[in-house]
């Protein structure tokens, strides 16, 4: 290594600086960092013209696999996105907007976020919403933090059929806090109520559940809300927003805090992001809500206006009193969610949800007819369901990729003993022809 290549100082000056901190060489200075983690020398090619660069980027993009028929879900879903969403969200006044600290010049953004909050409240059946969060995983973690503050307790009970990625984010958030996380293993793809009863007590701050869960099964948590409330805790539910077009809302179940990922509301898959997280709660919990909240008011002339209100972020108040340090909150993605909900409307969302459910039921029947394939039938499902295969699911998924099909999410990476289990997702985009083709290829693959 030629030290002078990396630093504008002379070798003598470098030696003096190393001696001052008590090491003899640059290599000794970086010795604690494993070699495989160190930056490699950059190999930057010779400069190219704009035309050559564009052609090169097109060639690289062309290497991506395209035209796949998607049956993957697990938190991110391949839904139809109306063209109007790209057009409206791409307007400069929205596309370039930043944090609306100055209401006198941010009324458009503030009103859009206020309307977004209204839409989320109506969707979840709860009284208050903030102006969005990063994603579904961090929304789960922020809801848990809310429960810890509200109850003054330090135990969170989690149904292990909650999305594994959200559970990992939750553990990361709470890693350095004096908080106990207790996970309840699912039984036949559903919440183990008997196992839950054994750990629910007056030390629990909140119970975190998901509907539909990672296996695709649907549940009604009304009884759990009553149990948790009797013990002085809160019930948190992670929900799939499209499913709320036909399923019982969190508010109707007695849920205290509802969270979820908004990607399915008008946002593309886009290699996993960006998306937005939503959070709604009972009105009594509003002062513990994280992030930004937009409120409606009037100016001194009685004219309607919008402002940031109840500002509980650490940038606004004393840090030790802040509920969250959430900053950028994926507001543009939340705007897309609002436009989507406004375009489809209440009945349109219900129709879309029914279409998802019906197509998934058709796929479920087609796959169940294949010899060796069993469909998990422990509870009703929405547009995701779990099948058991006569061979490892991961290998089958790998093989199906060659046929242009992403067959689903193998559960072997998330749950022990489920090497042959596969979660299949069917949205409104999948046609009868595509589902039949999938079933035919799956049967052929299982016969080989």
Tens digits of residue pLDDT in 360-407: 999 999 999 999 999 999 999 999 999 999 999 999 999 999 999 999
Question: Contact 400/69 with Cβ under 8 angstroms?
Answer: no
The span from the CA of 162 to the CA of 237, in Å, is 9
Strand (E) or helix (H) holding 208: strand 206-211
82-110 pLDDT, tens digit each = 999 999 999 998 888 777 878 888 899 99
Nearest to 419 by CA among 386, 399, 391, 377: 391
Model pLDDT, residue 102: 82
CATH top-level class of 83-341: alpha beta
Helix axes 432-447, 331-368, angle to 10 degrees: 60
Q: For residue 4, what pLDDT is reported?
A: 41
pLDDT of residue 314: 59
> What's the CATH class of domain 69-77+348-447?
alpha beta
**How many other C-beta atoms can be found within 10 angstroms of the C-beta atom of residue 18?**
16
Q: CA 109, CA 91: separation in Å to the nearest integer?
A: 12
Segment 238-253, tens digit of pLDDT: 999 999 999 999 999 9
Instruction: Tokens 């290829």: give the residue.
Output: 441
Two domains, one topology: 69-77+348-447 and 83-341: no
Over residues 271-300, mean pLDDT = 92
In the chain, where the domains are located: 3-37, 69-77+348-447, 83-341
């Amino acid at each position: 290594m030629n030290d002078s290549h990396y630093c504008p100082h002379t070798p003598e000056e470098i030696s003096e600086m190393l001696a001052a901190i008590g090491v003899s060489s640059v290599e000794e200075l970086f010795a604690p960092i494993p070699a495989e983690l160190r930056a490699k020398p950059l190999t930057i090619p010779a400069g190219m013209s704009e035309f050559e660069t564009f052609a090169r980027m097109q060639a690289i993009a062309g290497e991506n696999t395209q035209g796949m028929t998607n049956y993957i879900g697990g938190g991110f879903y391949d839904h139809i996105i109306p063209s109007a969403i790209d057009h409206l969200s791409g307007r400069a006044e929205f596309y370039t907007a930043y944090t609306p600290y100055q209401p006198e010049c941010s009324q458009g953004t503030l009103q859009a976020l206020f309307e977004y909050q209204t839409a989320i409240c109506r969707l979840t059946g709860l009284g208050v919403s903030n102006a969005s969060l990063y994603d579904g995983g961090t929304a789960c973690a922020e809801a848990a933090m809310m429960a810890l503050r509200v109850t003054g307790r330090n135990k969170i009970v989690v149904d292990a059929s909650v999305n594994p990625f959200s559970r990992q984010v939750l553990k990361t958030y709470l890693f350095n806090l004096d908080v106990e996380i207790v996970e309840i293993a699912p039984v036949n793809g559903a919440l183990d109520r008997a196992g839950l009863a054994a750990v629910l007590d007056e030390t629990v701050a909140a119970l975190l559940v998901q509907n539909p869960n990672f296996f695709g099964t649907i549940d009604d948590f009304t009884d759990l809300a009553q149990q948790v409330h009797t013990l002085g805790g809160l019930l948190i539910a992670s929900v799939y927003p499209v499913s709320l077009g036909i399923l019982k809302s969190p508010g109707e179940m007695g849920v205290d805090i509802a969270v979820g990922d908004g990607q399915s509301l008008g946002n593309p898959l886009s290699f996993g992001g960006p998306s937005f997280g939503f959070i709604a709660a009972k009105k009594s919990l509003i002062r513990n809500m994280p992030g930004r909240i937009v409120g409606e008011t009037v100016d001194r002339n009685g004219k309607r206006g919008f402002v940031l209100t109840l500002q509980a972020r650490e940038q606004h108040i004393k840090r030790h009193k802040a509920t969250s340090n959430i900053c950028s909150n994926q507001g543009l993605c939340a705007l897309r969610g609002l436009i989507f909900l406004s375009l489809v409307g209440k009945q349109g969302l219900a129709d879309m949800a029914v279409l998802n459910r019906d197509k998934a039921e058709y796929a479920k029947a087609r796959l169940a007819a294949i010899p060796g394939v069993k469909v998990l039938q422990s509870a009703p499902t929405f547009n995701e369901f779990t099948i058991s295969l006569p061979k490892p699911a991961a290998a089958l998924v790998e093989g199906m990729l060659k046929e242009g099909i992403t067959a689903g999410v193998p559960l072997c990476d998330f749950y022990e003993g489920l090497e042959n289990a596969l979660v299949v997702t069917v949205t409104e985009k999948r046609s009868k022809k595509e589902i039949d083709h999938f079933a035919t290829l799956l049967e052929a693959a299982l016969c080989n």
